[in-house]
Amino acid sequence: MKRVAVLTSGGDSPGMNAAIRAVVKTAYFYQIEVFGVLRGYEGLIQGTFEPLNLERVHNIIHRGGTILKSARSERFKTEEGRKQAYEHLLKHNIDAVIAVGGDGTYTGAKVFCEEFPEIAWIGLPGTIDNDLYGTDFTIGYDTAINTAMEAIDRIRDTADALNRLFIVEVMGRDAGFIALRSGIASGAEAVLIPESKADLPRLLRRLEQRAKNPEHAFIVVVAEGDEIGSSLALKQKLQYKYPRWDIRVVVLGHLQRGGAPTCADRVLASELGFAAVEALRKGIKNVAIGKVHKEIHYTPFEQAIKHHNDINPNLLRLLEILA
Ligand code: ATP
C-alpha cells in the first residue's frame, strides 16, 4: 500500500474533516502518500486529485463541511463514468480509495469494486441520518441531533410565550433517528417518524387532551420522510380540525448539516479514519468500517447496503410514556 485516495461524497456531515485528517495523519505515520479527490465521485471522473500533506489538514478537526467538497454524481452511476474514474486512479497510481459518505456512496463503491477489483475500497459512514448498517452511529449524527435539540429548545421558548403549537420538521428522508432522539431530548409532545405507524393516532389523542387546555406550548417533531406528508400538509390538517389554534411550522433543513462537530463526532471520525488506513495495511478491503458495541466492525458493502439499522423499540416505548 503506497498511495491512497480519500474523498467525501453525497450529503456532507460534520466530522468529515476530522476523518480526512485522521486518514492523512495515519498514512503519514506509515509513509503512505495520500491524494484528496475534490467533489466526491464526480472528482474521480474529472481527475481533480490533490496531494494531501500534514499542513493541509492542520486546523480542520473542528470545522464542519468538508475541505474536499462533496457532490452527487449521476455520471458515476454509468459504466462510462466509472471507467473514466478508474483511468484517473491508474494514472495517479492509487492503490486504494477511502470514501466517506452514506448509502449511495457505499452502493457506488460496491459497483466499482466488482468492475475494477484491483483497487481496494474502504467506506466510512459519513451522514447525519444514522441510517447505515454496520455502525451504531454515523459521523455527523451526534452533531445533527444536538443542533436539532438546541433549535427546538429555542422554538419552545417562543411557543410557550404565546401558547402556540409548533410543527418542527427535521432531516431524515427514510429514517426517523434524528426526529426520535431530538424529540426525546427536547421534551417534544409528539414525534412522527416513518418507522412507526402508531404516531399519528397518538398525536390525535394528545391533541384531544390539549383541546381541553390549550394554555401550553405543544411541539410536534416530524421527520421529513414521514409518510403522512410534509409538515405543511400536517399543519393544514390540524388547522382544519382546530381552527382557533395558532399553529406554526419550522423546517430546520440544512442548518442541521452545518456547524462544528461535537466531541463524539470528532472522536468517532478520528477512530474510523485511523481504522481505515490500518485495515488497508492488513489487506482488508471492500468493506464499510463502523463501530458496533465500542469495537471496530467491518461490513462488506453488499451487506451494508442491503440492510438498515432499526429504530430502538425501547426509545419508542419511552416516547409513548414521556411525550
Ligand atoms: P447521504 O445519505 O448523506 O445523502 P449518500 O452517500 O447516500 O449520502 P447519494 O447522493 O445518495 O448520497 O450517493 C452518493 C453518490 O454515490 C451518488 O451521487 C452517485 O455518484 C453514487 N451512487 C449512488 N448510487 C449508485 C449506484 N447505484 N451506482 C453507482 N453509483 C452510485
107: Cβ below 6 Å to ligand 1? Answer: yes
131: Cβ below 6 Å to ligand 1? Answer: no
| Mean model confidence pLDDT for the chain | 95
Q: How confident is the model at residue 258 (pLDDT cuts 50, 70, 90)?
A: very high
Query: What is the average pLDDT across 19-47?
Result: 98
* pLDDT for 228 beyond 60: no
Domains in the chain, CATH or no CATH each = 3-140+261-306 (3.40.50.450), 141-258 (3.40.50.460)
* pLDDT for 229 beyond 90: no
75: Cβ below 6 Å to ligand 1? Answer: no
Separation of 38 CA from ligand 1 center, angstroms?
Answer: 16
111: Cβ below 6 Å to ligand 1? Answer: yes
Residue 308 vs residue 241, higher pLDDT: 241
Q: What is the pLDDT of residue 80?
A: 98
Query: What is the average pLDDT across 225-231?
Result: 70
Known catalytic membership, residue 129? yes
Against a cut of 0.85, is the pTM above it?
Answer: yes
Read off the C-alpha cell for 220: 410536534
* pLDDT for 293 beyond 90: yes
Separation of 269 CA from ligand 1 center, angstroms?
Answer: 20
CA-nearest of 15, 14, 64, 16 to 40 is 16
64: Cβ below 6 Å to ligand 1? Answer: no
Choice among 122-126, 159-163, 189-193, 309-313 with the minimum mean pLDDT:
309-313
**pLDDT tens per residue, range 39-55:** 999 999 999 999 999 99
Give the sheet arrangement for strand 247-251, strand by strand.
190-192, 218-223, 165-170, 247-251
Please name the residue whose Cα sits nearest to atom 24 of ligand 1: 104
* pLDDT for 35 beyond 70: yes
Give the ligand 1 atom nearest the CA of 11.
3
Choice among 106-115, 223-232, 253-262, 280-289 with the minimum mean pLDDT:
223-232
CA-nearest of 268, 288, 278, 296 to 26 is 278
Q: What is the pLDDT of residue 314?
A: 92
Q: How confident is the model at residue 214 (pLDDT cuts 50, 70, 90)?
A: confident
Give the ligand 1 atom nearest the CA of 108.
30
Q: What percentage of residues in the chain have a pLDDT greater than 70?
A: 99
Separation of 101 CA from ligand 1 center, angstroms?
Answer: 8
Instruction: Supply φ then ψ for residue 56, to 5 degrees.
Output: -65, -30
Give the helix ranges, DSSP H, for the chain: 16-29, 40-46, 79-91, 103-115, 141-161, 177-185, 199-212, 231-241, 263-281, 301-306, 313-322
Q: What is the pLDDT of residue 226?
A: 65
